[in-house]
């Protein structure tokens, strides 16, 4: 969880254009250097988590899906996959992965998402990382699909071209009104097709 929170923080930095910390004269340089090193270590560790736990088996139906947690190699979360998409951008920007390698992973992930079961553009929260099939009684999740959509926005804007077009199509098929309770004007928390 700590790594995911760190990645969210780093996503905020990337999206707001903050890439350096301003040095204040009253803060000793060694403290600033230590904080920068800690952030860099967290960033690299977060990237490594996704690199090590994302399904990169090109023959797998679940190519590009990311594990929900390290302890269960079969369980993927659609939200974690959204975070992984963002991790590829952070990896390129920091030299952890080449832009070409990241593009190939993202294109494969987009193919997986295009072919996965969904309900009005919303995905099941938990799926099998290799088969893309729903795990147990997992719900169709508005929150987790929204986190995936954020990752799609990041890679689309960063890479442009084909990736942008395909990411936009996935985002456009999300029917937010379908998930909205018209009486309360609030989103339902989950949906189970049965």
Question: What domains sit in the chain, N to C, each tagged with a CATH number?
Answer: 2-19+28-191 (1.50.10.140)
Q: What is the pLDDT of residue 2?
A: 43
Q: Give residue-wise pLDDT tens across range 79-127.
A: 999 999 999 999 999 999 999 999 999 999 999 999 999 999 999 999 9
Spatial distance between the Cα atoms of 150 and 142, rounded to a whole number of angstroms: 12
Token readout for 97 is 């992965």
φ, ψ of residue 35 in degrees (nearest 5): -65, -40
Spatial distance between the Cα atoms of 106 and 159, rounded to a whole number of angstroms: 10
Confidence of residue 144 (pLDDT cuts 50, 70, 90): very high
40-to-95, 106, 158, 181, 194 alpha-carbon distances in Å: 12, 23, 21, 42, 45
Spatial distance between the Cα atoms of 184 and 100, rounded to a whole number of angstroms: 46
Higher pLDDT, 42 or 147: 147
Task: Confirm if 19 and 13 have CB atoms less than 8 A apart.
Answer: yes
CA pseudo-torsion sign 54, 85, 170, 105: negative
Q: What is the pLDDT of residue 28?
A: 57
pTM score, whole prediction? 0.81
Q: What is the pLDDT of residue 18?
A: 41
Whether the pLDDT of residue 161 is over 50: the answer is yes
Q: What is the pLDDT of residue 71?
A: 85
Q: Give 93's Cβ-side CA count (13 Å radius).
A: 21
The pLDDT of 161-183, averaged and rounded, is 95
């Amino acid at each position: 969880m700590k790594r995911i929170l760190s990645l969210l923080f780093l996503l905020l930095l990337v999206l707001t254009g903050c890439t350096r910390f301003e040095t204040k004269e009253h803060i000793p340089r060694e403290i600033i250097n230590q904080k920068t090193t800690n952030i860099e270590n967290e960033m690299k560790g977060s990237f490594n988590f996704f690199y090590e736990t994302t399904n990169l088996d090109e023959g797998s139906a679940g190519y590009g899906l990311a594990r929900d947690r390290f302890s269960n190699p079969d369980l993927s979360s659609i939200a974690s996959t959204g975070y992984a998409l963002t991790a590829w951008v952070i990896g390129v920007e920091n030299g952890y992965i080449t832009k070409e390698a990241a593009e190939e992973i993202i294109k494969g992930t987009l193919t997986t998402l295009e072919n996965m079961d969904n309900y009005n553009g919303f995905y099941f929260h938990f799926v099998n990382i290799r088969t893309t099939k729903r795990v147990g009684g997992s719900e169709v999740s508005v929150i987790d699909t929204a986190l995936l959509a954020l990752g799609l926005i990041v890679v689309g804007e960063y890479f442009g071209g084909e990736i942008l077009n395909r990411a936009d199509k996935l985002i456009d098929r999300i029917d937010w009104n379908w998930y909205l309770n018209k009486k309360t004007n609030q989103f339902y928390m989950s949906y189970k097709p049965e």
